[in-house]
Amino acid sequence: MPTLSTLLLFSLACLALAATPGPDMLLIASRSAGQGLRAGFATLFGIQLGTYCHALLAALGLAQLFVLVPMAYDAVRIAGAAYLLYLAWATLRSNSVLRAAEPGSEGKPLARIALQGLATNLLNPKMALFVLALFPQFVEPQAGPVALQIMLLATVLNVVGFGVNALVIVASGRMGRALAGGKGGRWPQYLLATVFGGLAVRLLAAGQK
């Protein structure tokens, strides 16, 4: 396994990355502001599950496909943007997307939110390239199975990310309640649809660089 000093250095790198505002943090914040803490944590759960999936792909060597075959990168990127645009459209179209679940029925909507977080993470090929670029720098071949080390690093990344994003979720949830002022309205729909649309544009623009 990696040495303690290696894990500490990796943790500091993760902290710097997690504290830098990005697409995941924006999605988590908008969910929390519009739907509350449970929705925010459900989104975070889906995103962090996606991190494990990307780490597993990197461990299997499949993430290198995006480097060797640019068309594969573009295909996933376009599919991800299309999915985000669909979510934006569905959010605006439905009046019930951001309503709180009825007592005793929280599981289904929260599961759907988590799956959306997972899907948006998996359909972002830049995340796969990020894992592929960062993780090998902290892998020590002589310290044990490389695949196991990569999954350990993914766990460290998720633990650090959870700590940072939990603060974002709580702060955004409080801000959302303050904006709502006890009244309804469609502002959560507009906010989340704007975030989904913005992430789609960002993902499409990535292909122009």
Q: 6 Cβ partners below 8 Å, 6+ apart?
A: 138, 140
pLDDT per residue over 10-27, tens digit each?
999 999 888 888 888 889
Say if CB 155 and CB 135 are below 8 A apart. Answer: no
pLDDT per residue over 47-80, tens digit each?
999 999 999 988 888 767 777 777 877 888 888 8
Candidates 53, 43, 168; CA nearest to 116 is 43
Query: HEC states along 25-37?
Result: HHHHHHHHHHHCH
Q: Give me the chain's average pLDDT, please.
A: 82
The residue ranges of every structural domain in the chain are: 4-207
